Amino acid sequence: MVKTRKRNGYIPFSLFFSAVFLMAVVGCSNPTQDESSDTLDDTLETTQFASLSSLKTALGNVIQNTAKNPYQIALINMDMASFSNNEDSLGELFAVFQGRYVDLDISTCTGNIGAAASTVMTRRPDADKLVSLMLGESTESIGSFAFAGCTSLVSISLPASMSTINDSAFAACVSLGFKVTEGNTVFTTDMDGKRLLQDQGKTLVAWPSAVGTIQISSEITEIQDYAFSGAPLLRELIFDHNTPPALGGVHVFENPSDITIRVPREQVSLYKTSWQAYTNAIKCTPDWYATPFTDLADLGAWLDEDKSQNDRWTPYYAVLKDVPLSNRGTGEKLEDGLRKLYEAFHGKYIALDVDACTGATIGFSDLYDQTFSSRPHRDRLVQIILPESSTSVGIYNFYDCTSLESVSFPSGLKQINKNAFDHCTALKEVELPASLKLLGAYAFRNCTQLKRVIVHAEVPPALNGGVFSGVNEDFSIYVPANSVEAYKAMTGWKDFAGIIKAIE
């Protein structure tokens, strides 16, 4: 079971990232309203067209619409093969939409849908206006990248004659659901139509709309190449197969570095051997130890006596309860409040839920020396769920925790002090609560894999120098939509104005 903490008021990253992705992939800015829009009609005189030129004229005479009220269009007895070219099989068709959203019925048309080059995804200004599609009754195949970048496409009906769908045919169709006409013996779908399957449901053909964390059915024994191509909202796949499903190639995922693949602990080595292209993404499924540890000595004994040496892909999952994580007020020298915690790891890699531990400030309080640089086993911490009672992450708390991949912050967090996550080179994404007031100097410095920071604070927190120096070159910052301009104008944040984007 994957253990997570629900944060009230948080917006899942999978929801707000979709709009950003769609704009980046297809350049879908709103088309300029026609200057004579006050004289345009809001309905079409006819819905059936025998040529693209007549369709273009008709759409040019109606007002701009939205994806919720697309124009109903039927192409009559046209040859789809006539649209085909080496670069973009359907570009000529999409171009006549002129920014209008369309439900398209080509069930009376003939010919197969041709292939397109992968590069056309960034050059189709109206591909994102196709909302639904009913294919020709005699259509047998869809070429590679044919509908790539059709980000508003929510429904496609595959005819009984459909027998071949080539790779990336639906890349980046993040809202797509499939319908398969009765009589088709090749393809089928799952219950909600999001997954396209074949071989009686054993082969996964396409799932571009996969979102967040997905459990893969044990009935699936093969995944075709490009099955998840252009699925930017996919973050985690969970497999409980003892034998890894066969892969159709090395391009199953568009960006494998952004995906976590969870498999049974005892099968991690087998999956890594079988899926060598995705070795770094494969990790064990969390198996949290049921009984909380109330003493660091007991945690250390459990790791020492019962657990063999592991690696960062197979950490042990444990819960701490009522353990003080700060030595403030204890009478001890305020040297390093987390040293005892790291020492308890005994060299094992571990994920910790310390939500029920005590201390308003984690680790360091006001005084410290530089003993953090010699903490034993600091590189063994893989995941941490911080106490909900905490309002501050202390100076150098997680400095050089090079295996730390995931941090869950408390909803009342007010400040992250300087160098708190400096050189956490495995962090890829952090989500900061609305209560945040301060990010201290170098807080996330040299986090070389950090690509996304999501800040829910509507008032920009104070940002000290060097907080994001040395992060990933694809780094982006996401903030509340109504606060984008405030962040871009705020001291410190304005240095990142070009990569500050709205949470959607």
Where are the chain's structural domains? 43-185, 210-285, 296-503
On the question of pLDDT at 380 being above 70, the answer is yes
**Gap between the Cα atoms of 476 and 23, Å rounded:** 14
Q: Which CATH number fits domain 210-285: 2.40.10.10, 3.40.50.300, 3.40.50.12480, 3.30.310.50?
A: 3.40.50.12480
pLDDT score of 111: 93
Backbone angles phi, psi at 379, to 5 degrees: -80, 10
On the question of pLDDT at 29 being above 70, the answer is no
pLDDT confidence of 116, banded at 50, 70, 90? very high
pLDDT score of 329: 56
Domain 43-185: CATH architecture, name and number where available? Alpha-Beta Horseshoe (3.80)
Contact predicate 472/479, CB 8 Å = no
On the question of pLDDT at 371 being above 60, the answer is no
| Superfamily of structural domain 296-503 | Ribonuclease Inhibitor (3.80.10.10)
Of the candidates 312, 318, 375, the one whose C-alpha atom is nearest the C-alpha of residue 342 is 375
Give the residue with greater pLDDT, 125 vs 302: 302
pLDDT score of 337: 64
Are domains 43-185 and 296-503 of this chain identical in fold?
Answer: yes
**Percent of the chain residues topping a pLDDT of 70:** 87
On the question of pLDDT at 123 being above 50, the answer is yes
With vertex at residue 340, the alpha carbon angle to CA 334 and CA 346, rounded to the nearest 5 degrees, is 160
On the question of pLDDT at 258 being above 90, the answer is no
**Gap between the Cα atoms of 449 and 427, Å rounded:** 6
> Tens of pLDDT along 126-142?
999 999 999 999 999 99
> Tens of pLDDT along 190-216?
888 999 999 999 999 999 999 889 999
On the question of pLDDT at 24 being above 70, the answer is no
pLDDT score of 306: 78
What are the C-alpha distances in Å from 251 to residues 229, 238, 248, 266? 8, 18, 8, 26
Q: What is the mean pLDDT of the chain?
A: 87
**Gap between the Cα atoms of 479 and 16, Å rounded:** 10
Residue type, 189: T
Give the residue with greater pLDDT, 395 vs 130: 130
> Tens of pLDDT along 297-351?
999 999 998 789 999 999 999 999 988 776 555 555 445 667 788 889 999 999 9
Summarize the confidence of residues 375-381 as an average pLDDT. 90
pLDDT score of 375: 78
Which residues of 76-176 form beta strands (DSSP E)? 102-105, 130-134, 141-142, 155-158, 164-165
pLDDT score of 81: 87
Contact predicate 117/144, CB 8 Å = no
Contact predicate 157/179, CB 8 Å = yes
Give the residue with greater pLDDT, 368 vs 351: 351
pLDDT confidence of 118, banded at 50, 70, 90? confident
**Gap between the Cα atoms of 14 and 126, Å rounded:** 24
Summarize the confidence of residues 223-240 as an average pLDDT. 90
> Tens of pLDDT along 159-171?
999 999 998 999 9
Question: Which letter, b or e, does each residue of 334-372 get, where b requires 16 or more Cβ atoms within 10 Å of its Cβ?
Answer: bebbbbbbbebbbebbbbbbbbbbebebbbbbeebeeeb
